[in-house]
Amino acid sequence: MSLAGKHIGVALTGSFCTYEKVFRELKKLVDEGALIQTIFSNAAGSIDSRFGKAEDFIKKAEELTGSKPIMTISEAEPIGPGSLLDVLVLFPCTGNTIAKLANGITDTPVLMAAKAHLRNNKPLVISISTNDALGMNMKNIGLLLNAKNIYFVPFSQDNPEHKPNSMISHTELLIPSLEAALEGRQYQPVIC
Ligand SMILES: Cc1cc2nc3c(=O)[nH]c(=O)nc-3n(C[C@H](O)[C@H](O)[C@H](O)COP(=O)(O)O)c2cc1C
């Protein structure tokens, strides 16, 4: 399936070390002709770190996609009633957002977007990046793996020796994962 003309939400949360990969994939999506709306969590939209300044990431997202990022819960809410997106990806998705989503908490623009989008029975894709995937968040990932309309970008341990609970998605598989999700399929193998 081609992504040209598809309305794709890309929701960034606070895994800042992943942003270089995020912007690489965003560029690929734009080049494919997808229509991208970014959404920033409060952390993504405000924390400056050694990986860059929030303001610069927001600017870069707008320049790449041609539309202003959604930065507030009230800006994200219309995604539901307007059925604005064909597919939404949480990319990168922190342990924090995974835990909240699995437990029905909606207190950031990204979680509002996810809730609003899921109410329309449309696919939500998660690209994880968290040091506690095999620890405190394993149960939440398990809940989401088994949830209706939720799909994952395939993921694996990234540094078993030094960060034994850490898992990260293979972001280069974003596009085939989105294509599969739009057809109601989980791209496989999900653990690789
Ligand atoms: C420099 C930096 C890097 C971080 N990297 C990660 C990460 O890779 N994965 C993760 O789950 N949390 C990471 N965090 C923690 C999250 O940013 C924090 O849990 C935040 O509350 C997430 O909020 P959000 O899920 O609403 O974006 C990082 C924090 C900082 C300051």
pLDDT digits (tens, 9 = 90+) for 63-108: 999 999 999 999 999 999 999 999 999 999 999 999 999 999 999 9
**Domain-located, residue 192:** no
**Domain-located, residue 40:** yes
**Domain-located, residue 75:** yes
Residue 80, domain extent: 7-182
Number of domains within the chain: 1
If you measure from the C-alpha of residue 96 to the centroid of ligand 1, how many angstroms do you get, rounded to a whole number? 7
Q: Tell me the pTM.
A: 0.98
**If you take atom 18 of ligand 1, which residue's CA is the nearest one?**
14
Amino acid (1-letter code) at residue 20: E
**Domain-located, residue 191:** no
Q: What residues flank ligand 1, with Cβ below 6 Å?
A: 13-17, 41-44, 47, 49, 94-97, 108, 129-130
Amino acid (1-letter code) at residue 113: A
Q: Please, which residues have CB within 8 angstroms of residue 62's CB and are 6 or more apart in sequence?
A: 38, 68, 69
If you measure from the C-alpha of residue 92 to the centroid of ligand 1, how many angstroms do you get, rounded to a whole number? 10
Dist CA 154 CA 55 (whole Å): 30
**Domain-located, residue 1:** no
